[in-house]
Every structure is written in C-alpha cells, then in structure tokens.
C-alpha cells in the first residue's frame, strides 16, 4: 500500500501527452509513430494496460487488410480479448474473483464488450464487420475513459484545485444546514456541481494522488473540532461526523465507483497511520491521538459498509490484503488498532490475527513500562565526591584482603616447593597465574592475538588409510 516513486517508460509528461495525441491523430504516419513510441516504452518498463491496448488496436488499424478474412477475424478477436482482460483484471481486488460483468459495470465499460469477449473465447468468432465496429468503439472508449482524463489529471495545481472545490463544498454544506434558505441551497448545488465537474475529468490515478489526500486533511473527514473526533481505544465513529461526511463520499463514489474510492481511502489512511519502516521495529506515533483515532474509526466504517469476508455471497468492494501486509510489517500503536478493526469486521480472519495483535499489545506495554520508569536526576558534585570516597574505601579493603592472601600463600611455599613444576614458561600457551597481567578477552597475556589457523600440510594427511 506504499505509494512511493514509480518507474515509468516515458521521459517526461510532454512525451506522454504527445504520444497519446499521435495515437489518435488523423494521419496514418502519425499513428504509426505513436505505435513505435509505445513499442519503445515496452522495452524500457511496464506500460499501463490502457496504453498497451490502445497501441495494439491502432497497430491493427494500420495493418494490411489484404490478409484472409479468417485471419483478420482471429487477429481482431484476440486483440479485443486482451483489451477486455487487461482492463478488467486491474479491478479484480477482492479475495474471491468477481464476474467480468460486475467489474465492467463498475468502471463504465459497456456490457457488450464482455459479451463479445465471451463469444470470441468460447463460441463462434463474430463476423469481421462486428469485430471492426467493436475495435473502433474500444478506441473511443479508451480515449474517453483514459487518455482525456489522464492528460487533464497531470497539471501540478490539481491538488490545490481539488482542495478549493472540496472546501467550497464543505462550506456550502454547513451553511445550508445552519440555514436552509433558497439562496444557501442554490450555492450548495453550485458547489456540488463544480466538485463533480472537476473530479469527473480526473483519471482514477488522481484519486489516490490528490483527492483522497485532501479528504484526510483536517476539516473534511477529520474535524478541526477535537470534540467531534473519535477516541482510543474504542475508535467509534461519531454519529454526527458520519452523517455530515457520507454525502461527500457518496458523491465521489458515484464518479469513480465505490471500489476505487474506498480502496484508495484505506490505502491513504494506512500510509498516514503506519510509517513505512525498513527495519520492522516499532515506529513512534506521528499523528495526534484524536486524529489517529478518527482515521481508525473511518477504517472501521469503510469495512463495516463495504467489506465482505471471504466466502460471503455478496462481493466485497474493498480488499484488506495490502492493509494487513502493511500493518504486520510495521507494528506499532496505530497498526495494532487497524488490525483490531479488521478482526472485528472479519471474525474468521481475526482468529488468525489474534496472536499478532496480542504480541503487539505485550510489546507496546513493555515499551510503555520502560518509558514510565523514573529517570535519575543529574548527580551533583557532592554526591559524586561521596561516591568516590565509598569506592576508594572498597578498593582499599580489597587490596588489604589481597595482601593477607599473599602472606598465607608464602607460609605454604615450603609445601609447594616439593611439587613438580607443571607450568612451562617457555610455552606460548602456558603462563604462571601469579605473574599474569590483565589483557583483552581473546588475546594472550602479552596482548597478542593467537593464530588459530592450522598449517597447510595438514590438508595432505589422508583421513583413512587403505589396508595393505
């Protein structure tokens, strides 16, 4: 769910826009140049499905029509099958696969495209006339639903424009609630129309890049008044916040579809709550408690309204796979709250998540206990002097004990004189304990690091000697 830098095949936005214009040019030589540019992109990096499908369909337009009719039908049918599959597979975001008719309806693709794809795959291949008409309609659909929206989503001030439109909508909404006059209602309708007009021309990629980011700023889905926010540990959605915000979410869902909007919203909330950590440790909280609790409450609300557990008869509009991966890879206070929200929405999945949630709870409790330990204040000079005197007294006492031990050992020298000398002073590995000196661990008494490597001639000694 991390949305960092993405590698693209084009060198600049201007090149990307220029290639799109070439693919839809009226001149065949320009369309041919556009196809060649997309082929170069394919060699550099992965190309978006819509771009790849557009180049394939345009290339077939430019191909020689003197081929046999049967071959043309097979070529066009294969191109249409790949077009439908590549576009709709991007919308397959749930654990249980959804039908292509449902996915097509979600993104606004005509249902007869899916029916034609089914006929080309499982039934008799349609006539050349039908396939050519579908081919032309596919190019028109890609132009309206991808290229036009994509090029309009590229200006750098997109987020500022969305922020201004959303702020005007929120202001007009609050005004009409405070005083439902005809003038206020007219201003609210105008703000709503302006927001729909702006968001309607944006590509779905702009949802996560701009629109959702604006929604999560204080003043939209997170109230500026902290009294209206959720609180830990329950993270229950305040009823007033849900009532005043669902109309805006419903408006945006009508533009892009519930799956796109709420998947992107979950991804953005998770990115805000769970800092991406490459070390896998517990990250400190970067949001205020009330702000984070409100975001977790929105996760609960989205899962309650739009998520269906695996095996359910009703298809789910959102997926929690990326959400779980991000939270499990980056444990923390807020990621644990998100995991608990998922567990409440899907009890079967919650049983599998419970050991991880319990572990996070224990680890976080240990961290909190460590932070709560009293920290010793700065030691002043008088305390340091007393500590030094105490340590000196202990050292003198230890030295006195060592002297008495030397006296006792001297009394027994006559007994030890008759014992054979077992130490070999000339040996590098044996030293008299009484003549030793402190040295670092892992070194000999003279401070040298011993050479533990065996001589090479040992490798030539056979391990097993054959019997004579």
Q: What is the pLDDT of residues 380-399, one digit of tens each?
A: 778 888 888 888 888 888 77
* pLDDT attached to residue 377: 53
DSSP character at residue 388 = H
DSSP character at residue 133 = H
Regions of the chain with pLDDT less than 50? 1-4, 277-285, 409, 411-426
Tokens describing residue 345: 């929405």
Q: Which segments of 287-344 are extended strands (E)?
A: none
* pLDDT attached to residue 338: 92
Long-range contacts of 123-130 (CB under 8 A, 24+ apart): 125/73, 125/74, 125/77, 126/73, 126/77, 127/73, 128/69, 128/72, 128/73, 128/76
DSSP character at residue 146 = I
The gap from C-alpha 173 to its chain's centroid, in whole angstroms, comes to 34
b/e 162-190 (16+ beta carbons within 10 angstroms → b): bbebbebbbebbebbeeeeeeebeebbee
Measure the CA–CA gap between 203 and 150, rounded to whole angstroms.
5
Task: Tell me: cis bond preceding 54? Omega within 30 of 0 counts.
Answer: no
* pLDDT attached to residue 413: 47
CB 328 within 8 A of CB 357: no
Distance in Å from the first CA to the final CA of the chain: 72
* pLDDT attached to residue 33: 92
* pLDDT attached to residue 367: 80
DSSP 246-279: HHHHHHHHHHH-HHHHHHHHHHHHHHHHS---SS
* pLDDT attached to residue 54: 93
Residue that has been written with the tokens 């991390």 in this structure: 2
* pLDDT attached to residue 340: 92
Measure the CA–CA gap between 100 and 115, rounded to whole angstroms.
10
Measure the CA–CA gap between 427 and 429, rounded to whole angstroms.
5
- Residues with Cβ within 8 Å of 101's Cβ and at least 6 positions away in sequence, in order, are 111, 114
Instruction: Return the axis-axis angle of helices 258-273 and 289-306, rounded to nearest 10°.
Output: 150
CB 150 within 8 A of CB 205: yes
* pLDDT attached to residue 51: 92
Tokens describing residue 244: 């005043």
Among residues 77, 40, 73, 70, the alpha carbon closest in space to that of 55 is found at 40
Residue that has been written with the tokens 């709550």 in this structure: 273
Kindly report the number of other CB atoms within 10 A of residue 71's CB atom: 9
Distances (CA, A) of 170 to 55, 177, 191: 42, 11, 9
Kindly report the number of other CB atoms within 10 A of residue 113's CB atom: 20
Residue that has been written with the tokens 């040996």 in this structure: 427
Q: Is the sign of the CA dihedral 337, 339, 340, 342 positive or negative?
A: positive
Tokens describing residue 276: 């991406």
Measure the CA–CA gap between 38 and 24, rounded to whole angstroms.
13
Measure the CA–CA gap between 121 and 101, rounded to whole angstroms.
15
């Amino acid at each position: 769910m991390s949305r960092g830098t993405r590698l693209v095949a084009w060198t600049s936005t201007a090149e990307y826009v220029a290639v799109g214009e070439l693919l839809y040019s009226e001149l065949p030589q320009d369309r041919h140049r556009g196809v060649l540019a997309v082929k170069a992109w394919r060699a550099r990096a992965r190309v978006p499905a819509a771009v790849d499908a557009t180049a394939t369909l345009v290339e077939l337009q430019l191909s020689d029509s003197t081929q046999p009719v049967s071959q043309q039908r097979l070529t066009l049918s294969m191109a249409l099958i790949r077009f439908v599959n590549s576009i709709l597979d991007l919308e397959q975001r749930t654990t249980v696969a959804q039908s292509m008719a449902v996915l097509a309806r979600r993104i606004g693709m005509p249902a007869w495209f899916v029916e034609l794809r089914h006929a080309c795959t499982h039934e008799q291949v349609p006539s050349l006339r039908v396939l050519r008409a579908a081919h032309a309609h596919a190019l028109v659909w890609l132009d309206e639903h991808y290229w036009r929206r994509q090029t309009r989503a590229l200006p750098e001030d997109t987020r500022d424009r969305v922020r201004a439109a959303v702020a005007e909508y929120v202001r007009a909404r609050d005004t009409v609630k405070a005083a439902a006059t005809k003038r206020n209602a007219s201003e609210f309708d105008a703000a709503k129309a302006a927001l729909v007009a702006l968001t309607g021309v944006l590509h779905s990629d702009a949802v996560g890049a701009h629109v959702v980011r604006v929604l999560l700023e204080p003043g939209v889905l997170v109230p500026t008044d902290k009294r209206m926010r959720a609180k830990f540990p329950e993270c229950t959605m305040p009823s007033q916040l849900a009532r005043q915000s669902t109309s805006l979410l419903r408006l945006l869902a009508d533009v892009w579809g519930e799956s796109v909007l709420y998947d992107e919203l979950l991804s953005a909330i998770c990115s805000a709550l769970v800092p991406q950590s490459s070390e896998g440790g517990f990250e400190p909280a970067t949001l205020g408690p009330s702000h984070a609790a409100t975001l977790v409450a929105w996760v609960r609300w989205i899962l309650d309204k739009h998520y269906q557990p695996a095996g359910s008869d009703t298809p789910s509009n959102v997926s929690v796979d990326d959400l779980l991966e991000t939270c499990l890879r980056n444990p923390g206070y807020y990621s644990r709250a998100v995991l608990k929200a998922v567990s409440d929405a899907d009890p079967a999945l919650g049983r599998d998540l419970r050991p991880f949630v319990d572990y996070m709870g224990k680890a976080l409790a240990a961290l909190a206990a460590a932070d709560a330990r009293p920290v010793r204040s700065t030691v002043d000079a008088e305390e340091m002097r007393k500590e030094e005197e105490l340590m000196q007294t202990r050292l003198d006492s230890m030295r006195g004990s060592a002297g008495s031990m030397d006296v006792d050992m001297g009394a027994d020298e006559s007994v030890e004189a008759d014992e054979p000398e077992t130490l070999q002073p000339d040996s590098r590995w044996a030293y008299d304990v009484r003549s030793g000196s402190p040295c670092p661990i892992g070194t000999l008494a003279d401070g040298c690091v011993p050479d533990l490597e065996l001589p090479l001639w040992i490798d030539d000694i056979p391990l097993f000697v054959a019997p004579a």
